[in-house]
Amino acid sequence: MRPQPDKLRKLMHAFVMRTPQGQRGWEARANAILPGGVNSPVRAWNAVGGQSLPIASANGAIVTDAAGGAYVDLVGSWGAAIAGHANPKVVSAVTRAAKRGLSFGATTEAEVELAELIRDRYAPAERVRLVSTGTEATMTALRLARGATGRDVVIKFAGHYHGHADPFLVAAGSGLATAGAPDSAGVTASTAADTMVLPYGDVDALTGAFAQHGERIAAVIAEGAPCNMGVVRPPDGFNRLIGELTRNEGAVFILDEVLTGFRAGPAGWWGIERDVALAKGEQPWVPDLVTFGKVIGGGLPVASVAGRADLMEQLAPLGPVYQAGTLSGNPVAVAAGLATLDIMDADAYATLARAADEVREGVHEALLASGVTHAVGRAGTLFSFFLGLDEPPVTFADAARQDTGLFRSLFRHMRAEGVSLPPSAFEAWFVSIAHESPITRQIVDAAGSWRPNERANP
């Protein structure tokens, strides 16, 4: 049988991509039109060297590039692909929704269902507003906090990332930390002046800030567990302290669970601390506002700001705080989110936890056996490795002391062994329910064959 024209085109493309000339051609073409060849900086591999080829497809735990190279994926669309790439249930829900129409600019029953599902699994989400990106969610949460309190200042923690709205691009994690430039040009001095940056986990700094500036503070925003400076477990009692100080001083506690939500555990990082509190017979602390993204869109653009009813009802059209979005609650994206949350039942979370344990523990043992100094950062099913550190860090200053040159060597070795790590030492390693044991073993074996003294070429 002769290959079909489309198949032939793909085969030709893969063949060309396998040649250095073809790869250089691709690089030049992408760089000529997309700044840095990418649509989001951390994809550019600047921190690890080399050039990623365009992804052609992904299925389960495997991504395949345009040259036909298949890799075990630990990027997982930066956390969204919790059910595995192209999960058949998600794809068929999306297909069914698409056939009913791509976008209406009017409310659908599925939006209400997704919002109800979020509230049912995450009690502090008394009201939910769906948006399209995590950036919109945190930006809206801050506007809401400022509108409700009539105050300007937001406290954020160094190394935490809350998307790319101006007030948060100060001492930020993720791609900014990776580039070693945690502030962004283009943020006005007056905007930055309203953002107070504190070291994470520093009780004195936080209580001191409230003692000195309490009446000016609209909100404290914190990642549920920081995952954009590597994964950091919140020090015991720190989130509770934020809750107490904000409540006592009339400020708003915004918990950013865009990354940790429905992933660190079934009810995000908050659910993990809630369960610990309940087991001790204590009342759990509760955030005023919470932001979600990634998992609730299952790979399509859905995010949300949610929280206390009286605060959320300050949003237009009920209240004076404006927020809007042409594609907010898009029916196709919402279908992906609903299908994903539906897949993620108790058994699926147990599978996710098993996959995370196998990779985290296996790679930890492999690094120990090779004599690599490292610390494991862990928050529920989220984890990353801090090479060159003896202890898991809490502050960004400590996290930034990790050996990024060593990570670069590990990244390139793993890639050669068919495993695709996030291209930055400051990002989490994302597993999915499709990371079955033969796949997690492949990851661990790849780490076990790394010889750390073989540093990557610059």
Ligand X SMILES: Cc1ncc(COP(=O)(O)O)c(C=O)c1O
Where does this chain bind ligand LHPZP3FS (CB under 6 A)?
A: 40, 42, 78, 161, 174-175, 228, 259, 427
Active-site residue identified among 288, 294, 349, 398? 294
Site for ligand X in 251-280 (CB under 6 A): 256, 258-259
DSSP output for 344-412: -SHHHHHHHHHHHHHHHHHHHHHHHHTT--EEEEEETTEEEEEET-SS---SHHHHTTS-HHHHHHHHH
Which of 71, 122, 161, 349 is an active site residue? 161
State the DSSP code for 47: T
Q: Is there a catalytic annotation at residue 403?
A: no
Cis peptide before 393 (omega within 30 of 0): no
Instruction: Say whether residue 239 binds ligand X (CB under 6 A).
Output: no
Q: Are 224 and 268 in contact (CB under 8 A)?
A: yes
d(CA 270, CA 263) in angstroms, rounded, equals 11
42 binds, among ligand X, ligand LHPZP3FS, none (CB under 5 to 8 A by kind): ligand LHPZP3FS
Q: Who's near 429: CB < 8 A, 6+ residues apart? A: 74, 359, 383, 384, 385, 421, 422
**Which partner from the list ligand LHPZP3FS, ligand X, none does 256 bind, CB cut-off 5 to 8 Å by kind?**
ligand X
- The two beta strands, 289-292 and 303-307, are antiparallel
DSSP β-ladder status, 55-59 and 217-223: unpaired
Stretch that binds ligand X, among 31-39, 105-113, 133-141, 193-201 (CB under 6 A): 133-141
List, in sequence order, every residue forming a beta bridge with 377; answer none if it has no partner: 384
Q: Residue 71's binding partner, choosing from ligand LHPZP3FS, ligand X, none, with beta-carbon cut-off 5 to 8 A by kind?
A: none
Smallest separation, CB 229 to ligand LHPZP3FS (Å): 10
Q: Is 134 in the site for ligand X (CB under 6 A)?
A: yes
Catalytic residue among 65, 73, 256, 403: 256
Is 377 near ligand X (CB under 6 A)? no
Judged by beta carbon distances under 5 to 8 A according to partner kind, the member of ligand X, ligand LHPZP3FS, none in contact with residue 138 is ligand X
We find the least distance from the C-beta atom of residue 274 to ligand LHPZP3FS, in angstroms, to be 23
Task: Provide, rounded to whole angstroms, the least separation between the CB of residue 40 and ligand LHPZP3FS.
Answer: 3
Structure tokens at 399: 């996290």
Position 345: which residue type?
Answer: D
Taken in order 222, 223, 225, 226, the sign of the CA dihedral is negative
List active site positions.
161, 256, 294
Residues of the shown chain interacting with ligand X in the complex, contacts defined by CB under 6 A = 133-135, 138, 161-163, 223, 228, 256, 258-259, 293, 303
